[in-house]
Chains A and B, each alone.
Chain A
Amino acid sequence: MLSFILRRLLLIIPMALLVVTVTWGLIRIAPGNFYISERALPEAVERNIREKYGLDRPWYVQYGKMMWNIVRGDFGNSLKYRGQPVNEIIRRHFPYSATIGILAYLLALLVGLTTGIIAALKQNSPFDYGSMAVSMLGLSVPNFVLGPLLVLVFALWLFWLPPARWGGISSLILPVITLSAIYIAYLARLTRAGMLEVMRSDYIRTARAKGLDEKTVLLKHGLRGGIIPVVSFTGPALASLLAGTVVVEKVFAIPGLGNIFIQSVLNRDEPLILGIVAFLSILVMVFNLLVDISYGFLDPRIRYD
């Protein structure tokens, strides 16, 4: 088990470097440059800039230098936010994304799992039909529609909550709901399907034949097997929630990582792009590892070696 975790952790570094390399290649292939704007620059100025940032050197020298720095954990300074180290920018903006991300994740788990379990337990009941209809809606309404809609109703119409910006718990409610809606919907459906599948299995019939009541059968015998398909979804889900979703951050004017990432791409801010990409890919890989580890706790048949 321990050696499994160690091996997986060691694998994360080369994988992240690979992701960085591919991203770097794509940036270089794409037309345009960070210093190009509508106005053409005088040739002398351009030559100066290229020299200053080492762009006049052969590509492999540039690549080698960049990788050498990155391996030591230094992504350099942002090109747009002059003099600000990339690491510093990520450290400053990530907490915003992480806060609403974690809250949205917890909300999605709580509401999605409970709804799915109850719907499965009361299959074909009004609750089942109702919740599955609502979740279908949740899956089909995009969050750039849901967000403004919630703002309209709860902020501009009922005046219960602030429409946007960061500040206090009340400002978190709408973005968290907007962000988690689709995950709640998906989790509820996934949990329901998983539970229904398991509740048909032979060992559930055995549990019933023992005289156990339906609640024990479901929670003690059914739940574990039922949520295994859910677990594989929740790892990547948490990673993408933490990374911040651009749309929600834009709608609610939250200075999170998603917002910064879009800016960096628009600005061709190469060090910042690479820094965020590396950070996010590590995040995803760590959470996938956590998922794999939790499988081991859920299912005793899984062995790590």
Chain B
Amino acid sequence: MNNNGTILSVNDLKTYFQTEDGVVKAVDGITFTLAKGETLGIVGESGSGKSVTNLSVMRLIPEPPGKIVGGDIIFDGTDVRALSIDEVRKIRGKRIAMIFQDPMTSLNPFLKISTQLMEVTQLHLGHTKQQAYEHAIKMLETVGIPDAKSRVDGYPHEFSGGMRQRVMIAMALSCDPELLIADEPTTALDVTIQAQILELIKDLRERMGTSVILITHDLGVVAGMTDKIIVMYAGKVFEQAPTKELFERPANPYTKGLLKSVPDPAHEQGEPLYQIPGLPPDVAHLPPGCPFAERCDRAEDICRSEYPPFVEINENHHSLCHFAKEVYDGN
């Protein structure tokens, strides 16, 4: 047992992909810890390495082309990188469960919902068919699927997007995992459905005491749900801070840009939303300086020539920026 109450600690994780275009450093030195019962938000634009970070934790990186080339992943005191694949399989789905972005493609279209739910508990909890079937119905009821008894025998195409994501959540929570990783669970859904799904995750987390990693590219989503946030950019942690502090006093121009692009209630109808100018860099060919320099409104010469330091604002707040303190104080 782990005594300091940490469920997951990731230290200097590096996951690279070998591509025709060169080595893609999708995740390049990510560090974070997650306490039991805590919820961590990971935000960042598309391609910043959010999914790769979490697939690495599950050892689900397709190899080749990918490979975890460095760092530690310690889950509840166990070094995940040192485990055999059979030992990893005992953790997957049982102790760490995952929900993916697109509920339309994440469920097997050829198998009944019941089959897909039952196989998890038959595998990990040693359920008999009968037990697994009853458990499947119970889980569907838990995630709020009406008429679960009859719908359990349906196929995924008979469910709407939101209902499918509920099924995914039911599947992920079947074995009462200690850690739930939700990779953009609402991105593919309608706004109203999004709120329902987030509400559901929040509710279940509180009832089951699960630790959660919530990945999103929308800071608005993580605001009310997380204890702390890491902001990723080009495979790096750009800023990490407790949620409240990050929203109130960001210490990184990239985070400020992301915050500005969150629509707030006072936002005028029809007025275009703020967008960070430019596109994320090609992680196979990063410039020597700060990878965000080209798009940053307060970049100076040093930003383009020198790689920025990881500045400690306080014990829980860090920012990768030459001007971290200035940005922090400027608020």
Contact = CB atoms under 8 A, between A and B. Distances in A.
Interface of A: 201-203, 205-213, 216, 220-221, 224-225, 298-301
A211 B110 contact: no
B302 interface: no
B166 interface: no
Contact of B124 (A201, A209, A211): A211
B91 A211 contact: yes
Interface of B: 58, 60, 86, 89-94, 97-98, 100, 102, 105-111, 119-120, 123-124, 155, 157, 168, 171
B171 A210 contact: yes
Nearest to B181: A209
B188 to A, nearest CB: 11
A213 B124 CA distance: 12
Contacts of B93: 209-212
Contact of B100 (A206, A220, A298): A206
A301 B157 contact: yes
Given A211-B123, A212-B119, A206 B107 contact: yes
A203 B107 contact: yes
B105 A208 contact: no
B106 to A, nearest CB: 5
A210 B119 contact: yes
Nearest to B103: A202
A300 B106 contact: no
A108 B203 CA distance: 54
Contacts of B168: 206
A209 B183 CA distance: 13
Contacts of A202: 100, 102, 105-106
Nearest to A123: B64
B322 to A, nearest CB: 39
A298 B58 contact: no
Contacts of A208: 60, 92
A209 B58 contact: yes
B108 A203 contact: yes
A209 B109 contact: no
A221 B107 contact: no
Contacts of A206: 98, 100, 106-108, 168, 171
Contact of A211 (B94, B100, B108): B94
B155 A301 contact: yes
Nearest to A199: B62
A254 B124 CA distance: 58
21 contacts: A201-B105, A202-B100, A202-B102, A202-B106, A203-B109, A205-B106, A206-B98, A206-B100, A206-B171, A209-B60, A210-B93, A210-B171, A211-B92, A212-B89, A220-B119, A225-B110, A298-B110, A300-B109, A300-B155, A301-B109, A301-B157
Contacts of B110: 221, 224-225, 298-300
Given A203-B107, A206-B100, 19 more contacts: A202-B105, A206-B98, A206-B108, A207-B108, A209-B98, A209-B100, A210-B119, A210-B120, A210-B123, A211-B89, A211-B120, A212-B93, A213-B86, A213-B89, A216-B119, A221-B111, A225-B110, A299-B109, A300-B157
